[in-house]
């Protein structure tokens, strides 16, 4: 308390030298300065930070809501994809492979399709390698048929291969 009194004594002496009207102006200016400092140093940063946190919170809530909706949609797509595979479970692998080969554009390159114990053996001559991969991916994704054994040999034509593929239903 004594330290404050030591600081206030010269200030009070200086105020006493001023006229009454000047004292009111100085005191009003000091109060205005104190209010402005309070606003700029304390109030404004707190409210600004609060607004920023509110924006972040709303953004996180929107992201969470979107993720929940996306999760539901992903599960729906997964379950519908599984039901498609189940729908084709009763059809022969040979007919599904033939149908898929037609849409993938490799049917003209298929030399032979032989039925085996667990699946189908397909012999392909001079087909584009990328088309074969697309066809195998299509078989797996749409029908649940996988390539169990694959033997690929290069041909003289660039990008074309001869292939022997054993297709089976995935477990």
Residue 147 CB contacts under 8 Å (≥ 6 apart), including other chains: 136, 139, 140, 165, 166, 167
Q: How far apart are CA 97 and CA 104, in angstroms?
A: 10
E strand or H helix at 95, and its extent?
A: helix 93-104
For the cut 80, the answer to whether the pLDDT of residue 86 exceeds it is: no
Closest CA to 100 of 126, 134, 128: 134
Q: With respect to residue 66, please indicate whether it lies within any of the assigned structural domains.
A: no
User: DSSP character for 118?
Assistant: S
Q: What is the pTM of this model?
A: 0.51
Q: With respect to residue 57, please indicate whether it lies within any of the assigned structural domains.
A: no
- Residue range(s) defining the domain that contains residue 112: 91-170
- For the stretch 32-81, pLDDT in tens is 999 999 999 999 999 999 999 999 999 999 999 999 988 888 887 776 65
Quick check: helix, strand or coil at residue 91?
Answer: coil
Are residues 166 and 106 both part of a single domain?
yes
Q: With respect to residue 38, please indicate whether it lies within any of the assigned structural domains.
A: yes
The total number of structural domains that make up the chain: 2
The whole-number average pLDDT for the span 100-114 is: 92
Q: With respect to residue 60, please indicate whether it lies within any of the assigned structural domains.
A: no
What average pLDDT does the structure give for the chain?
89
Are residues 99 and 166 both part of a single domain?
yes
> Which has more confidence, 83 or 9?
9
Are residues 96 and 166 both part of a single domain?
yes
Q: What is the pLDDT of residue 81?
A: 56
Are residues 97 and 157 both part of a single domain?
yes
Longest dimension (CA), the chain: 116
């Amino acid at each position: 308390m004594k330290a404050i009194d030591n600081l206030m004594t010269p200030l009070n002496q200086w105020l006493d030298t001023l006229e009454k009207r000047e004292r009111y102006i100085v005191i009003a200016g000091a109060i205005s300065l104190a209010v402005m400092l309070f606003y700029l140093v304390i109030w404004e940063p707190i409210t600004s930070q609060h607004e920023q946190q509110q924006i972040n919170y709303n953004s996180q809530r929107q992201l969470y809501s979107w993720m929940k909706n996306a999760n539901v949609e992903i599960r729906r797509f997964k379950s519908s994809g599984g039901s498609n595979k189940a729908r084709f479970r009763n059809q022969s692998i040979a007919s599904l492979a033939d149908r898929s080969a037609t849409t993938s554009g490799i049917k003209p390159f298929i030399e032979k399709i032989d039925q085996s114990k667990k699946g189908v053996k397909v012999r392909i001559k001079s087909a584009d390698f990328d088309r074969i991969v697309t066809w195998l991916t299509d078989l797996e994704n749409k029908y649940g048929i996988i390539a169990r054994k694959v033997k690929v040999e290069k041909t003289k034509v660039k990008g074309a291969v001869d292939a022997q593929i054993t297709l089976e239903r995935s477990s």
